[in-house]
């Protein structure tokens, strides 16, 4: 009945296996351990804040039919009580299975509302407790466990308050034993989002079952001691993934709300992280309200991001030059560039080889993008992590960083620079990385300029060194952008959905249009185009200059027609 997390899209970068899995099975998968988890089970839970995030009623109605839409993919859950793999369907990835066993989808049923949705929620919780009454190597992993405990407690009033005594007794017994196991293993969780999820489960369990104050104390201690390690100085989560950053911030907001409701003090580390992470979240948004597509990220729901920022209660404004994360914003008028000038993150298996890539939006319309993330699609994960899936330069189709199958970083740039200058509203960002130095004896330097009126974006990509044979500079375009190459190949005309035009010219490379694929929205794969500037290397590097300028709208001809 155990699921897997390997090759699952990088949620936790794979699960420990081999000897460690054998030891855990020997220690926890015995009748003796079940006896050790027994104890005096409370007959009720204390008041805790209900889950505050919006659900999706369409997804909730699908659950009523036995279909679950998670991570952008729909899977039919087996209704056969004899099917041992009902909660770990073989046609789903490990991350999808983890989301199913985490029970965050309860908010989708709550959004539907009514007795039918409540009964369905109780049926599913009861089925899970029947199947996983004892420890399981997958479903009882610390992060999945913490997520499930928090969601069960946070939705208790929805599905359990009106249930019969038999269901409540079974529910509380399972909740108690899961929390007791979590209290034993939470300290073994590595740094990363999994630690926050495990600590969240302890805080919720310790608040809901106040007789077990040790769980609450442990959760707070883990956050106080280990949360600062995964929050960079500028407030960015150490995974450097905007989507993961959003998820961790939501968890911390939930933890704070739970502690406030119980009258327990909130650790300073949690308060400080929420304040700084909220400011960074604002810096990672485009004009449409969604997130930039760096390091295993999707656009995410703009309304959800608004809700997270509102509940964060943070007052710090975003900075254009955050610092430790390596993300930079160039903003003028309605034009925005977000640049990744940092080393791929080694935490949480989110790394992409997209160093010095950038995205550009004009108002609420995206123009230049990265290709996004293939959540729940292992077949696309490797392609989306590649340098070629980002709007940056690549040499000989070699990635600027070596990313392992599980999304963890094997080797990346060691020397990165970023210097920012501003004068009279004009902005210049000068960056470089040495990701090609060891293999190709090359260094990539990229300069980006944005004029004060936002109408002129210029770039200069330089390769210095003696290696390599061919280079390509890619500009992936949002699917809604229309592109046309001039007959002589001198420029590409870009048209945004609102009608505004931009013209891209270059010197030092051949220009062409090519097909691409966009995975900015979970579960959606869209065709798009990319502009490719390419050329050969002769052993002495190269310099390519390009300019992207807004097309001025021509004033309509008001000359009256001649009279016959």
CA atoms of 50 and 156, how far apart (whole Å): 8
**Is residue 133 within 8 Å of 173, Cβ to Cβ?**
no
**Is residue 424 within 8 Å of 452, Cβ to Cβ?**
yes
Domain ranges of the chain: 50-188, 327-550
Q: How, if at all, do strands 416-423 and 491-495 pair?
A: unpaired
What number is the average pLDDT over the span 263-281? 96
Tokens linked to 387 = 């340098």
Q: What is the pTM of this model?
A: 0.93
Reported confidence tier of residue 46, pLDDT bands at 50, 70, 90 = confident
CA atoms of 386 and 25, how far apart (whole Å): 36
Reported confidence tier of residue 83, pLDDT bands at 50, 70, 90 = confident
CA atoms of 357 and 340, how far apart (whole Å): 6
Tokens linked to 37 = 């988890």
Which of 35-44, 45-54, 242-251, 487-496 bottoms out in mean pLDDT, i.e. has the lowest? 35-44
- Reported as a single tens digit per residue, the pLDDT across 17-26 is 554 555 666 6
Q: Which residues contact 26 (CB under 8 A, 6 or more apart)?
A: none
Q: What share of the chain is helix, strand, coil (3-state, %, to 5)?
A: 35, 25, 40
CA atoms of 315 and 418, how far apart (whole Å): 27
Residue 234 has pLDDT above 80, yes or no: yes
E strands, 356-455, in order: 358-362, 365-369, 393-395, 402-403, 409-411, 416-423, 426-433, 442-450
Residue 377 has pLDDT above 80, yes or no: no
Around 337, how many Cα atoms within 13 Å sit in the side-chain half-sphere?
Answer: 28
Counting runs of H as helices and runs of E as strands, what totals does the chain give? 16, 20
CA atoms of 57 and 76, how far apart (whole Å): 17
Fold of domain 327-550? Beta-galactosidase; Chain A, domain 5 (2.70.98)
DSSP output for 67-135: EEEETTEEEEPP--TT-TTTTS-TTS-HHHHHHHHHTTTHHHHHHH-HHHHHHHHHHHHHHHHHHTSS-
Task: Tell me the percentage of the chain whose pLDDT exceeds 70.
Answer: 92
Please name which of 334, 335, 284 lies closest in space to residue 305, comparing C-alpha atoms.
Answer: 284
The overall average pLDDT reported for the chain is: 90
pLDDT at 7: 37
Rounded to 10°, the helix 193-208/142-154 angle is 40
What number is the average pLDDT over the span 359-363? 98
- Reported as a single tens digit per residue, the pLDDT across 187-223 is 999 889 999 999 999 999 999 988 888 999 999 999 9
CB atoms within 10 A of CB 500: 16
What number is the average pLDDT over the span 411-417? 92
Which of 191-195, 409-413, 525-529 bottoms out in mean pLDDT, i.e. has the lowest? 409-413
CA atoms of 16 and 29, how far apart (whole Å): 17
**Is residue 99 within 8 Å of 89, Cβ to Cβ?**
no
Residue 516 has pLDDT above 70, yes or no: yes
């Amino acid at each position: 009945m155990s699921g897997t997390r390997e090759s699952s899209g990088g949620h936790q970068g794979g699960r420990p296996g081999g000897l460690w899995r054998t030891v855990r099975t020997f220690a926890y998968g015995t009748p003796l351990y079940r006896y050790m988890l027994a104890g005096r089970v409370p007959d009720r839970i204390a008041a805790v804040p209900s889950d505050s995030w919006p659900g999706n009623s369409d997804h909730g109605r699908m659950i009523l039919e036995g279909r679950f839409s998670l991570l952008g993919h729909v899977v039919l859950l087996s209704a056969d009580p004899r099917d041992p793999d009902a909660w770990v369907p073989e046609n789903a990835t490990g991350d999808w299975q983890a989301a199913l066993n985490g029970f965050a989808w309860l908010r989708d049923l709550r959004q539907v509302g009514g007795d039918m949705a409540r009964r369905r929620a109780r049926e599913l919780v009861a089925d899970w407790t029947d199947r996983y009454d004892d420890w399981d190597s997958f479903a009882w992993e610390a992060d999945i466990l913490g997520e499930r405990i928090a969601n069960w407690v946070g939705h208790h009033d929805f599905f359990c308050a009106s249930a019969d005594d038999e269901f409540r007794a079974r529910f509380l017994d399972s909740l108690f034993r899961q929390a007791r196991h979590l209290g034993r293993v939470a300290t073994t969780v590595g740094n990363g989002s999994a630690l926050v999820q495990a600590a969240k489960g302890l805080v919720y369990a310790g608040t809901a079952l106040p007789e077990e104050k040790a769980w609450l104390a442990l959760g707070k201690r883990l956050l106080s001691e280990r949360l600062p390690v995964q929050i960079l100085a500028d407030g960015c989560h150490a995974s450097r993934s905007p989507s993961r950053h959003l998820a961790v911030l939501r968890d911390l907001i939930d933890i704070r709300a739970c502690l406030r409701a119980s009258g327990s003090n909130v650790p300073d580390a949690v308060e400080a992280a929420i304040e700084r992470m909220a400011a960074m979240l604002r810096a990672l948004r485009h004009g449409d309200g969604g997130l930039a597509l760096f390091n295993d990220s999707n656009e995410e729901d703009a309304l959800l991001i608004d809700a997270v920022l509102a509940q964060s209660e943070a007052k710090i404004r975003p900075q254009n030059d955050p610092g430790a994360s390596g993300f930079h914003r160039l903003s003028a008028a309605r034009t925005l560039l977000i640049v990744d000038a940092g080393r791929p993150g080694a935490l949480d298996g989110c790394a992409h080889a997209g160093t010095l890539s950038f995205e550009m939006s004009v108002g609420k319309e995206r123009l230049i993008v990265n290709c996004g993330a293939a959540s729940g699609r292992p077949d696309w994960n490797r392609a989306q992590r590649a340098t070629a899936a980002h709007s940056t330069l690549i040499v000989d189709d070699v990635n600027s960083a070596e990313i392992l199958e599980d999304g963890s970083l094997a080797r990346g740039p060691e020397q990165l620079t970023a210097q920012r200058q501003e004068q009279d509203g004009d902005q210049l960002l000068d960056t470089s990385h040495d990701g090609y130095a060891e293999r190709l004896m090359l260094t990539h330097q990229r300069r980006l300029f944005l004029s004060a009126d936002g109408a002129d974006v210029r770039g200069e990509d330089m390769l210095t060194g003696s290696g390599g044979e061919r280079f390509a500079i890619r500009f992936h375009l949002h699917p809604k952008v229309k592109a046309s190459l001039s007959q002589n190949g001198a420029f590409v005309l870009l048209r945004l959905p609102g009608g505004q035009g931009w013209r891209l010219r270059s010197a030092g490379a051949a220009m062409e249009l090519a097909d691409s694929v966009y995975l900015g929205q979970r579960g959606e794969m869209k065709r798009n185009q990319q502009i490719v500037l390419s050329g050969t290397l002769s052993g002495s590097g190269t310099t390519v200059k390009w300019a992207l300028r807004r097309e001025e709208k021509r004033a309509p001809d008001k000359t009256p027609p001649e009279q016959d």
